[in-house]
Amino acid sequence: ILSVLTQAFYDAEYLFTVPPTVFNPPPKVDSGVLRLIRKKEFTLPCNEALFFKVVKQAFQQRRKTLRNSLKTFNLSNNLKANSIFGQRPEQLPVQAFIELTLLIEKDQV
């Protein structure tokens, strides 16, 4: 959820790696520092509140396909036939979530 929402609203830049030795207790992995810069005057081309709901609901049952995890939206059978619903949320880029939200918006009208 965090990755999709961050990519939707921010430009991320990798700055540097932080070794485990600077933490107490030290983790077993290196950490990275990112700079997040809010996209200026950026608005989603879809309903923002619905976008948040779709992303959150999709990742609540990560191992399931979107067809199963988005059942609460009461989607039409015609929409559920779309190939995007056969995928899992971690397989989708941010743009696909935006397109998915637009599809759900049109379906609920």
Q: Does residue 43 lie within any of the structural domains?
A: no
Q: What is the pTM of this model?
A: 0.84
Q: How confident is the model at residue 104 (pLDDT cuts 50, 70, 90)?
A: very high
The answer to whether the CB of 37 falls within 8 A of the CB of 59 is no
64 and 83 in a single domain? The answer is yes
16 and 65 in a single domain? The answer is no
61 and 101 in a single domain? The answer is yes
User: How much is the pLDDT for 108?
Assistant: 82
Question: Tokens 């397989």 correspond to what residue?
Answer: 91
Average pLDDT over residues 24-28: 96
Q: Does residue 56 lie within any of the structural domains?
A: yes
**Residue 1 labeled ligand binder:** yes
Task: Tell me the residue range of the domain where 10 lies.
Answer: 1-38
How many other CB atoms are found less than 10 A from the CB of residue 95? 11
List all residues 6 or more positions away from 33 whose beta carbon is below 8 Å from its beta carbon.
Answer: 14, 15, 16, 17, 18
List all residues 6 or more positions away from 82 whose beta carbon is below 8 Å from its beta carbon.
Answer: 103
User: How much is the pLDDT for 56?
Assistant: 96
60 and 93 in a single domain? The answer is yes
92 and 58 in a single domain? The answer is yes
Residue pLDDT, tens place only, 40-64:
988 999 999 999 999 999 999 878 9
User: How much is the pLDDT for 106?
Assistant: 92
61 and 102 in a single domain? The answer is yes
How many folded domains does the chain comprise? 2
Residue pLDDT, tens place only, 11-20:
999 999 999 9
